[in-house]
Amino acid sequence: MTQGLPFEGVVVVDLSQGIAGPLATMMLAQYGATVVKVEPPGGDWLRATARIPGGNTGVTVSGNMGKRSICVDLKSERGAEVLRRLVADASVFVESYRPGVIDRLGFSHAAVTALNPEIVYASVSGFGQSGPHAQRPAMDPVLQAYGGLMAEHGTFLDGPHRLITIPVDLTAALFAFSALSAALYDKRVHGTGTYLDLTLLQAAAWLDLHSLHERLLHDGRLAPQPAIYGNYGTSDGEIFVAALNEAEWTRFRAALGEDERLVADRFRPYDALRAPEPHTGASAELRALVGELLLARTSAEWAERFTRHRIMCAPINDSLTFLREPHVAEQGLFAHLRQPGIDIPVPIPGLAGLPISEGSPRSMAPLAGADTEDILAEHGFTAEEIDDMLGAGVVRSFVEPVPAE
């Protein structure tokens, strides 16, 4: 089911860099907003690994699809005047500098609302705008460490582990998109803007909330896990499988072929095998036996058998294997989008109710400054003024090089 574009007519001035802010504003663009990404003269710092100057990477594509880009030196007075003109026409202003930096540039909340009283103003930061850690540089792994995620992820491993899938950034982006959407609804209903203090810290708190509650309710420990709940080797890889209770354990044994060793008295009742340390005693012995049995078949064979017996499971895929899964293809989960500055199509999953079509404006991520001259002209700058600012380095426009014949 598809839906309309509820943010058509909304103009967003997006100064955010990195991942959380750009992803949130990208989602606004996908739902119809006109998002102008304001980048420094060299482009967003995430473009540093691009094949060409000011070019795209996979991360900049996912964060900037559907946006327009202008490169401006905001430390110059003429650059600041460019931003003031953009702000005057905007519905939303988003920045992700360290606290205090945007104030020194002359675009604090007070300064922006003086130009545009009804604007929705959002600051995206690691630790927030106040408090003892407000000035601490932050990115996803820093908040994974600070918020407990690394420690909890390593509880049943050999110590704290970083999740490389940037869960804090992605969750913060979703929270920011939700907050901006709610603020825009409020603005539509009541005609007033607002200020949003959006943080990676809040995202980390929500991601770790389940473990926090478990520890509070179990004397500082995580809740005991079922004996069969985890990863197991197969003849060609690994599979995750879970038998949560006595009924599922019965079906699990049936899927394994009713090996008589699984019904030994020391493994009864199954629910009694839950323990704070599942790698000891009868629980560990049962896991080892199941691990031995699972080596007899492939991950795909076990997944089919377990699914038939209504047991939760999944082969342990890497990201490329997941991309090539037949079910993923059948769902149309990814669109493969050609992008300026990248030689191969970039796979991007769609958003709820919004299929992405290759070649549509919402599917394209601009090069840094790709729209600089057009945006300046639309905001009243003359051709002579634009040429002068380009020559002085106040603004910049990147153009994708034409391949040699």
* Catalytic member of 169, 259, 374, 388: 169
Helix axes 209-217, 200-207, angle to 10 degrees: 50
Burial class for 157, CB neighbours closer than 10 Å (0-12, 13-18, 19+): exposed
What does residue 390 show for φ and ψ, rounded to 5 degrees?
A: -65, -45
- Please give the domain boundaries of the chain with CATH numbers for all domains: 11-209+333-396 (3.40.50.10540), 229-318 (3.30.1540.10)
Per-residue pLDDT band for 1 (boundaries 50, 70, 90) equals: very low
Residue 155 has pLDDT above 80, yes or no: no
Residue 405 has pLDDT above 70, yes or no: no
Predicted confidence (pLDDT) per residue in 192-245, tens digit: 999 999 999 999 999 999 999 988 988 888 888 899 999 999 999 999 999 999
Residue 146 has pLDDT above 90, yes or no: yes
169 catalytically annotated: yes
Please give the pLDDT value at position 401.
Answer: 58
Q: Give dist(CA 54, CA 397) in Å, integer.
A: 9
Q: Give dist(CA 376, CA 373) in Å, integer.
A: 5
Indicate the range of 5-14, 210-219, 243-252 predicted with least confidence: 210-219
Is the entire prediction scored with pTM above 0.85? Answer: yes
Q: Give dist(CA 32, CA 44) in Å, integer.
A: 23
Report the chain's C-alpha Rg in angstroms: 26
